[in-house]
Structure 1
């Protein structure tokens, strides 16, 4: 190792001792010498000093040693190509006082280059995950592009105008320099007029093209967003009921509003900015090279540092911005809770503590804002570090003007291009990250678009006649939100045509679950439901729900007229049928007394009507379909005595072949049922007529006070 160390020390001193072999003034020989020393040094470091380093650190050290060993040689080679002259770095005699500083700067520059590489292209054990993520983002991006297929003409036109706008904009600084050259030298009116004409032409064309480009892109975004929202909404409403119980409403509305817009931006706005910036950057580089390729290479030396600074800044600033938004949301939650519960706050005299709690949340937000703004301040400060490079550009530009390699106008044009070049490079770096975020939002949307409902609606059975004979066979069922708590266990029940079956029992016993399963809101884990001897899932979705109608305890009305709500889901329904259904539900009377009658708007969720009125409209909505199976879940809870009597005695017996399933807690509703089924803890305890169950004096008799909420002489049996 001592020998190796001596060799390395000798090689690290530079090439001064080897230059006599080639001649001190032989530049080509000096470069060959420098590259030979660099290669030998790098080979020795890799083979001898890195043999005992683990694999991950070895890769990093190899890159650092390569930068350290070859940086001086690369610099001298590039400098010779650009400017020529004698060798400077690492080739001077050892007595040169600048030699130690060059070695230090070489080491620091190598470390900075290595740091840029490691941050931009890090080694990680999760390379496969990174590739999978990129592959997934690429697939999602292509899917978004396919959604834009109907808007391809708009995008194509936008791209044409984008190219025209950028190309025309790029030539404005070029002709600005020409005008300066014309004014600074012997003045020629024709040349000046031509330059001014082209400047004006390119400026007007650029403005018009930019406006057309923006308009076409906005049209494409609007069309795309509307189309995706419709498809997403259609996919959501086809999901099973359990999906909506597990998914928060805020998540769904966020997908419909925010994420669909981000999807549009992923292609339209982001690609607009990306293509515009890319074309402009490439065009400016080509024009800058035509003006002075040497100054262009000098300006490009800041690109890695700019990219590294922008990447670090974007990551930290976006993370802090998200934390600020979350902190503000928490502060708003505290304020909202206090305002909503102001009576409790006043009652317990906690005004000061609530103010203190809100102040603490705002203080957390303030600290995050300070951190975020500090990061931005440091970023803006570091961006000013490029001033020395700008000074170098002016220095060498002056030398090129003196040597006749450039004109003053060329230098002015070059400066104008260089001013925009840094901003364009930063925009390119930012837009890639923003596109990745947008594609991530598209992934959430596609997750819902691709989701298959767990309760299938692919049945095809549509018999001409349906008797309405329903059978529950050994059902076991748990709700998706509570999979470990069975609601029904070995449950069996038969509903016969022409009979009224009443389900009774304590709350939470499984009555409403039977209704939900018959409506195909859920799929039982075990057992099956037969309708006229066929599995329930084999029936066509629309056909099944035209034959099975339900009225819930809390009916939902939709904004629109009363007529629209009664005929909800039906097309071209005659007005006579609407009147008939409303009369059966005892709703025609109060509807006729309204100012606009059946055209009266019910308001949002039926807010303009009372609970009983909404209940009667919901009953009419079910009866107008003339269903073979009618399900009534606590419909009499909001009805007055007269309406309840009419519903029980008129509407429910108007179709003698109809299968009627009723859930009620009023004795008058169930005592005339052909079959009363007592359900508790998901099992059938007893069934029979009211008199049979009372005479049996079993569970129905003992639980009657828990089952029924009204005082009745029958309850004293």
Structure 2
């Protein structure tokens, strides 16, 4: 199934920007101060030509320096104040930028911890990484520095308009006559640029996803000799992004010269009508000089605002994707109902349970199963028969499409997720360890566990001896994903991690399928000790490892076709019997012929 990102089509999404500005509330004081600082910067920038006009009319034209030193002191005071303002705005904007990025990433990461398995089923890791890195950086930069440029632009333009009208109303109207055309031009280009930037951000996610897959699957690519295919596919993606980026840049490059042209027309109008006014002695030479400065200066912030608008358009495309992640619906959550259960014992019942993955056929249909607390249940069947789905539903990683699952006699949706998940011990086929020490990895399942409890769990998991043989023992760094340890060692640590939580329900998903015979024996010994008195579900490929299970369920097409102990099922000479004997013969052949 092809996975596609959500499409966004709004030219301006008020709700989206409201959500973004919600993140700014924490920095309200800094933003307010920054706004006033930028207003001050804009007013001072617009004041310099007015001061120059005064100098020309009162000192240059009259050829007198009487009182000029006072003017110089005032001019220097404005310069010093402006230097301080610039330092202050950089400090404030930098603080807001870094803080926003931190807060947005934190909010997105918190949501990722709450989202159910179904979200990760349809969302590639690379797309998530693109949202949390480049997209968030784009938002932070644009909101922080966009405020700086936007407020400065509005402040200086407003101040220039005021000074122009103070100096000469008629000439001000003539000079500013090009502004309506500028507004129409900006609205037209906004839609065009927004469309291309959306394509750029979408393809950027796909490129990040391709990077992720390329790095994670580098060994497989070399084994299969498909490097050239990967390069070809990646080249197509980068070419698509290049084309969209060029189109966005071309639109911006057309827009900016048009803005500059309108600015030049405004300057030409000021020169034409102002020059005639000077000749006719209707306005002073200083006023004309100020108007020329203002006509040029007025369109500098216009160009900056045009750039800011383009960046805000780009930021909206990034924000759409980040906010869609932060606002993603949590499908599996506490219902608000409160059961009286304080500790889970392990009685389990599936009643008329149906389940299908998104846009797929039913994996389970009217599935029924009762398990008594303390029973060990082995699930056997072909790949895709529904074994993992059963345990994932039990753990409430997914919820039934129809029907109900009861734990200790109550609908498990009324049991708080924190209680349910803290009562589970789940050991995966491919164990995952987090960067850190062995001690920290075992402790993840129970952060309050003492070192004595950690060691006891490791001993139960038959992991203590190999841990102590390492130079730093429990303080040994495991590396990214546990890369510094063998698969078998990682599996023993993951079992110890499950044990330290003291779970009521244990799930073992092909726990011994990826290890050598010696490690498998250690794991089997550990499992035998750990499962006593606990309800357990064991998904196993090697049938010899589940002979001691209380019940063995043979699953086919989401239905239980055989149910009984190993001896009972062998006597029936049905599906399980054929599966077991075939596997036994293959193992014997392997032992004989090596």
2:455 aligned partner: 579
Cα deviations by residue, 1:287-331 (Å, 9 ceiling, x for unpaired): 112222222111112223333444445555665677789999999
**SS of the residue 2:536 aligns to:** strand
Of residues 362, 375, 400, the one that matches 1:499 is 375
Contact 1:530 1:536 in 2 (8 A): yes
Is 1:210 the counterpart of 2:92 in the alignment? Answer: no
Is 1:473 the counterpart of 2:376 in the alignment? Answer: no
Of residues 324, 327, 331, the one that matches 1:450 is 327
Of residues 450, 468, 473, the one that matches 1:592 is 468
Cα deviations by residue, 1:657-697 (Å, 9 ceiling, x for unpaired): 21122111223311122211111111001111111111111
Contact 1:166 1:206 in 2 (8 A): no
Task: Give the Cα–Cα distance (whole angstroms) in 1 for the partners of residues 539 and 144 of structure 2.
Answer: 54
Cα deviations by residue, 1:598-645 (Å, 9 ceiling, x for unpaired): 111111111111110110000000111221111111111234434433
Of residues 339, 342, 351, the one that matches 1:461 is 339
Tell me which moved more, 144-153 or 440-449: 440-449
Contact 1:169 1:202 in 2 (8 A): no
Instruction: State how 1:661-680 maps to structure 2 within 5 Å.
Output: 661-680=537-556
Is 1:613 the counterpart of 2:489 in the alignment? Answer: yes
Higher relative contact order (CA 8 A, sep 6+): 2
2:535 aligned partner: 659
In structure 2, the CA distance between the partners of 1:667 and 1:321, relative to structure 1 (3 Å rule), is closer
Task: Give the Cα–Cα distance (whole angstroms) in 2 for the partners of residues 403 and 396 of structure 1.
Answer: 11
Instruction: State how 1:284-363 maps to structure 2 within 5 Å.
Output: 284-313=160-189, 316=192
In structure 2, the CA distance between the partners of 1:284 and 1:246, relative to structure 1 (3 Å rule), is same
Relative to the length of structure 1, the TM-score reads 0.72
2:26 aligned partner: 150
Contact 2:374 2:532 in 1 (8 A): yes
**SS of the residue 1:224 aligns to:** helix
Task: Give the Cα–Cα distance (whole angstroms) in 2 for the partners of residues 332 and 234 of structure 1.
Answer: 21
Contact 1:473 1:492 in 2 (8 A): yes
Contact 2:554 2:560 in 1 (8 A): yes
Q: Cα offset for 1:576?
A: 1.0
Q: Cα offset for 1:392?
A: 4.1
1:408 aligned partner: 285
Q: Cα offset for 1:283?
A: 0.4
In structure 2, the CA distance between the partners of 1:539 and 1:288, relative to structure 1 (3 Å rule), is same
Task: Give the Cα–Cα distance (whole angstroms) in 2 for the partners of residues 712 and 342 of structure 1.
Answer: 32
* Structure 2 unaligned residues grouped into runs of 5+: 1-8, 590-594
Cα deviations by residue, 1:395-451 (Å, 9 ceiling, x for unpaired): 322332233332222221221111011232344455456445535544444433334
In structure 2, the CA distance between the partners of 1:193 and 1:239, relative to structure 1 (3 Å rule), is same
Q: Cα offset for 1:276?
A: 1.4
Q: Cα offset for 1:491?
A: 1.7
Is 1:424 the counterpart of 2:306 in the alignment? Answer: no
In structure 2, the CA distance between the partners of 1:278 and 1:656, relative to structure 1 (3 Å rule), is same
Cα deviations by residue, 1:35-67 (Å, 9 ceiling, x for unpaired): xxxxxxxxxxxxxxxxxxxxxxxxxxxxxxxxx
Task: Give the Cα–Cα distance (whole angstroms) in 2 for the partners of residues 419 and 691 of structure 1.
Answer: 94
Task: Give the Cα–Cα distance (whole angstroms) in 2 for the partners of residues 570 and 418 of structure 1.
Answer: 68
Task: Give the Cα–Cα distance (whole angstroms) in 1 for the partners of residues 570 and 318 of structure 2.
Answer: 61
Cα deviations by residue, 1:110-164 (Å, 9 ceiling, x for unpaired): xxxxxxxxxxxxxxxxxxxxxxx98983333333333322211111221222222
Is 1:626 the counterpart of 2:521 in the alignment? Answer: no
**SS of the residue 2:67 aligns to:** helix
Is 1:553 the counterpart of 2:429 in the alignment? Answer: yes
Number of aligned residue pairs: 578
Of residues 386, 399, 406, the one that matches 1:523 is 399
Of residues 130, 139, 142, the one that matches 2:15 is 139
**SS of the residue 1:453 aligns to:** coil
1:269 aligned partner: 145
Is 1:399 the counterpart of 2:276 in the alignment? Answer: yes
Q: Cα offset for 1:488?
A: 1.3
Q: Cα offset for 1:252?
A: 2.3
Task: Give the Cα–Cα distance (whole angstroms) in 2 for the partners of residues 555 and 379 of structure 1.
Answer: 55
In structure 2, the CA distance between the partners of 1:189 and 1:276, relative to structure 1 (3 Å rule), is same
Task: Give the Cα–Cα distance (whole angstroms) in 2 for the partners of residues 399 and 691 of structure 1.
Answer: 111
Of residues 419, 439, 442, the one that matches 1:563 is 439
Q: Cα offset for 1:521?
A: 0.6
* Structure 1 unaligned residues grouped into runs of 5+: 1-132
Relative to the length of structure 2, the TM-score reads 0.85
**SS of the residue 2:352 aligns to:** strand
Q: Cα offset for 1:235?
A: 1.7
Contact 1:506 1:706 in 2 (8 A): no
Task: Give the Cα–Cα distance (whole angstroms) in 1 for the partners of residues 482 and 525 of structure 2.
Answer: 27
Task: Give the Cα–Cα distance (whole angstroms) in 2 for the partners of residues 371 and 199 of structure 1.
Answer: 42
1:114 aligned partner: none
Instruction: State how 1:167-186 maps to structure 2 within 5 Å.
Output: 167-186=43-62
Q: Cα offset for 1:193?
A: 1.5
Q: Cα offset for 1:478?
A: 0.9
In structure 2, the CA distance between the partners of 1:311 and 1:660, relative to structure 1 (3 Å rule), is closer
Instruction: State how 1:357-372 maps to structure 2 within 5 Å.
Output: 369=246
In structure 2, the CA distance between the partners of 1:264 and 1:359, relative to structure 1 (3 Å rule), is closer
1:92 aligned partner: none
Contact 2:259 2:303 in 1 (8 A): no
Contact 1:310 1:430 in 2 (8 A): no
Of residues 77, 102, 106, the one that matches 1:226 is 102
